[in-house]
Structure 1
């Protein structure tokens, strides 16, 4: 446990006593789902397998309810007293305060190893944050095949919470080599950028050489992070099918940070620009620039790590578009449940591909 000041210790003691003296029983189902049941943030919830009968969980549940009633000014006041960051929206601040109390009270009660929720939440050595840009038209056309034209990646050291490196290359499209005016205006990518760029297969090889140079997938584990299911489940999948190359094994599972953010901070699914605002930052760079978007996603990952989120695989590739929506359109991904993640985390390192991709 951290060496807290006497003032902070007294506040924790007072709030704990108040929760113990609360007369009404607080049922676990009425608490924030991520606070008292030990479920991993960003995962699809499954039925609980363990009972949390220790009195500390009732105290945590009571404090969660109390924090839910705080105004933003009250949350900031409490966070300042505890020497915690005060940047972000009300929902982000409330989650930060709840996480602090949960971790502290489990630590004091001596049961953190029992439920595992207070162990180090970093399960990968690195995150590789990707946000592709692709060819596009103003009016959607089912016959128009999108191709990746910007391949950016930001490398985030999970233990340090710091960005260590970046990768970026434009890609030359082959089906629609001339970019539309809409595409150039949206992404900031020029015709000259793609005309002088290597083909996607060459860029993918360069990217994998960059991963190998960083010893990712060999010495260090890593996970792909995206904003939504589209980058892996749509753009990369379609690009590999178009070129008749194997879909990279290390991309078959990924972290949809939009889903992690929503589950952890108890918000709805939000676009990147709104998530950035909620953590108390301004969007840096140009929206729909792949590299700038990836950098801003990295800010969100850093904030989630600081606030104690468990950032793990929560989506996977849907093979063959087997699952379809009510409107007939395919799902781009399928959820990764807690039991599946537990089964793969010991083996998935993640199975780095051979230097040459084999053909389908």
Structure 2
């Protein structure tokens, strides 16, 4: 075991968003209803149990939670009714970072995939008509690292979700309610620590770009795209302004924070995700039925 963790950051912030959802409805204008964050300190090699952020968020577009959402997350309607809206909770989160001296240029977020930043956070800021913040531009996709650790065993590991597979592979028991943000991040923090304990190098491996080469290739939209989650996400990947891409060069916190790998500009500067630089006019022309995800966020041009 290495005496020091192989990570160029001071802290890792394991984060998860829970959102509104409808059972088997994939063209859904998702809104964040819970933010959960725990901190793993790299120098001390500990999960900071005294530094936790866990807030519910009041949805605005669809204020009434579906029964499916309530059962999936364990979040009750009266709880979100009493919560603050996203803009308020996001400011509370920024204040929490300052309170605990967590410098955004010295930490990185850890997620169990790309969905939290690429789809959920990006869409939420579009809904509130705010520029996408630099703080969410880059992250560690722990599932990608997990796949590399598990290698050929990955596909045969039991489990429907990334976290279930991690639990079975690392023999780490999941405590709490799956799909509840704070329970998810507490578990993912244990997985992250387990991987770091082996001497594995952990660094930012995904970011958001304004341009991505694969989006230049025309997409033939399946007529039944709304009935399949993966097909819906393929469409959504075209209509969201910023695209998730794999980093091919090692992330340097001092130089790369908030920077788009394509235009080399930052979310502090002009690359803020407000303008779609690869607007998918051809894709929209193929979609004849209502497209709620795009319409509610104003993504489709008149």
TM-score (norm. length: structure 2): 0.71
Contact 2:4 2:43 in 1 (8 A): no
Q: Deviations 1:151-184 (Å, cap 9, x if unpaired)?
A: 1111111122212111011000000000000100
Contact 1:122 1:159 in 2 (8 A): no
Is there any run of 5+ residues in structure 2 with no aligned partner, and where? Answer: 156-160, 222-233, 260-265, 275-302
Q: Deviations 1:304-359 (Å, cap 9, x if unpaired)?
A: 1101111101111143787449665217511011x2x25x34424679999xxx99
Equivalence map 1:258-277=2 (5 Å): 258-266=143-151, 267-268=153-154, 271-277=162-168
Q: Does the residue aligned with 1:224 lie in a helix, a strand or coil?
A: strand
Distance 1:140 1:212 in 2: 38
1:278 equivalenced with 2:189 (yes/no): no
Contact 1:245 1:359 in 2 (8 A): no
Distance 1:349 1:315 in 2: 12
Shift of 1:123: 1.0
Counterpart in 2 of 1:336? 247
Contact 1:151 1:168 in 2 (8 A): yes
Q: Which of 149, 153, 160 pairs up with 2:37?
A: 153
- Residue 212 to residue 178, structure 1, CA distance change in 2 (3 Å): same
Shift of 1:246: 1.7
Distance 1:216 1:125 in 2: 9
Equivalence map 1:114-153=2 (5 Å): 121-142=6-27, 144-153=28-37
1:309 equivalenced with 2:200 (yes/no): yes
- Bigger relative contact order (CA 8 A; separation at least 6): 2
Counterpart in 1 of 2:298? none
Going by fraction, where is helix more abundant, 1 or 2? 1
Contact 1:217 1:350 in 2 (8 A): no
Contact 2:5 2:197 in 1 (8 A): no
Q: Please, which moves more after superposition, 182-191 or 328-337?
A: 328-337
Q: Deviations 1:42-70 (Å, cap 9, x if unpaired)?
A: xxxxxxxxxxxxxxxxxxxxxxxxxxxxx
1:179 equivalenced with 2:65 (yes/no): yes
Alignment length (residue pairs): 237
Q: Which of 86, 90, 104 pairs up with 1:204?
A: 90
Q: Does the residue aligned with 2:39 lie in a helix, a strand or coil?
A: strand
Q: Deviations 1:12-40 (Å, cap 9, x if unpaired)?
A: xxxxxxxxxxxxxxxxxxxxxxxxxxxxx
Distance 1:349 1:286 in 2: 33
1:189 equivalenced with 2:75 (yes/no): yes
Equivalence map 1:14-29=2 (5 Å): none
- Residue 297 to residue 119, structure 1, CA distance change in 2 (3 Å): closer
- Residue 323 to residue 211, structure 1, CA distance change in 2 (3 Å): farther
Distance 1:248 1:233 in 2: 12
Contact 2:9 2:253 in 1 (8 A): no
Shift of 1:278: 1.2
Q: Does the residue aligned with 1:136 lie in a helix, a strand or coil?
A: coil
Q: Does the residue aligned with 2:154 lie in a helix, a strand or coil?
A: coil
Distance 2:165 2:26 in 1: 29
Distance 2:52 2:184 in 1: 12
Q: Does the residue aligned with 2:140 lie in a helix, a strand or coil?
A: strand
Contact 1:131 1:151 in 2 (8 A): yes
Distance 1:241 1:235 in 2: 10
Going by fraction, where is strand more abundant, 1 or 2? 2
Q: Which of 162, 182, 186 pairs up with 2:46?
A: 162
